[in-house]
Structure 1
């Protein structure tokens, strides 16, 4: 297999290619080794290579970890799945730039049982819906409301969760009502009334500590929370 053909495979997935993809396209492991020795490929992880000279990408390790979850299929094919493996939890928060949570492991949510020998990968198992994910920088990722709820579900400390909520509302402009609904199951865990997502939002926004912009958002949410329901005829 000519190197140009291998480069074509990698071009559609951030300059990365898996050994399984290369073999399926007719490139032997020996040929991959020769390309690597010639300086045309750089090994990133077990079975994952990048084209030498590909543009720097701060998400490269995350992309490589996601490709390794199903190395025999192309990124394009997997993104057409109804429910692909999703970047989630702290990894999703980092992808959206929410708060300042350390993403020291690559976290993915999957619908079935999965295991990995890699200590830098963590799986979460959940029943997912198509509305739970979107594509962010070419990767399938849990939506922001789902990400905030996932962080609450795994007992993320209140300060870090507050920072993520702050950025979700003020930087990413997530709908307040949608976010309140999504986090309502975890309200009591963080000191708000049970199933009161609006009260939890108010508490977290106050804790986040961003001066004017956050205070305006707190006032808005508080007003909506305290407004009496209108009676209908």
Structure 2
């Protein structure tokens, strides 16, 4: 009965996180390490994408981006997802956000999270923390996962250091073809970046030049691509 009682509490916890939970959360719900080990041996729960300390109930739901979601849970392992203050506890940004939005993004093996205070959490394996200041309308939830909206995501990638113009064009095209964003949203993201960094330019004109394959579409401090703080 003890194991069943603890399994019931674990199921209650996991239900609010698409079947996933951290070991620290399980402990706060009264699930003992011995019970957790027993459930793992029985195949009732398993590790999520080799993210240390994050498990899922095998009969529970599965997040469409399990590794990204597990790494986000691990940023604040004691806090259930529904109690977290966002964006203070981390938002998926950059190429990782593009991936979540279905627009691909540049190849990478890590997950990038943005926080106003990168010292507030500890980055685990495969996690990169970036100092990021977000307005309330610059992020959204995707299956319970906080992610920068397409316009902000595109602007962050397009204005990053050493970015290739061809890759930026491919990213913009992917956002448009998948319907994740329209030209107005992508251009607005660039315009916000310009204002945030005190730069001159027109996001829509730059985007039109980019998509037209113009060789002089600028990604530089003088154009939309200034490398100021996100």
1:128 offset after TM fit, Å? 1.8
1:1-233 equivalence runs, <5 A: 1-44=5-48, 45-55=51-61, 57-78=63-84, 81=86, 83-114=88-119, 116=122, 118-155=124-161, 156-172=163-179, 174-184=181-191, 195-207=201-213
Kept after mapping to 2: 8 A contact 1:90/1:107: yes
Distance between the aligned counterparts of 1:124 and 1:82, measured in 2? 12
2:224 matched residue in structure 1: none
Q: Which has the larger radius of gyration?
A: 1
4+ residue runs over 6 A deviation: none
Deviation readout 1:133-178 (Å, 9 max, x if unpaired): 1111221110111001110232332122112212333432635344
CA change 1:27–1:39 in 2 (3 A) is same
Unaligned stretches of 5+ residues in structure 1? 188-192, 209-233
Q: Shift of residue 132 of structure 1? A: 1.3
Counterparts in 2 of 1:139 and 1:175: CA distance versus 1, 3 Å: same
Q: Are the aligned partners of 1:99 and 1:165 in contact in 2 as well (CA < 8 Å)? A: no
**Residue deviations 1:5-64, cap 9 Å, x none?**
211211110111111111111112222112212221112332111112335544111110
2:9, 2:180 → 1: CA distance?
42
SS at match of 1:135: strand
Taking structure 1 as reference, are residues 186 and 24 closer, same or farther at Cα in structure 2, changes over 3 Å only? closer
How large is the RMSD of aligned CA atoms in angstroms? 2.6
User: How far 1:65 moved relative to its partner?
Assistant: 0.4
2:227 maps to none
Is residue 95–residue 106 contact of structure 2 (8 Å, CA) maintained in 1? yes
CA contact (8 A) 2:18 2:62 kept: no
- With over 3 angstroms needed to count, the CA separation of the structure-2 counterparts of 1:68 and 1:177, relative to structure 1, is same
Cα offset, 1:124, TM superposition = 0.9
- 1:146, 1:108 → 2: CA distance? 13
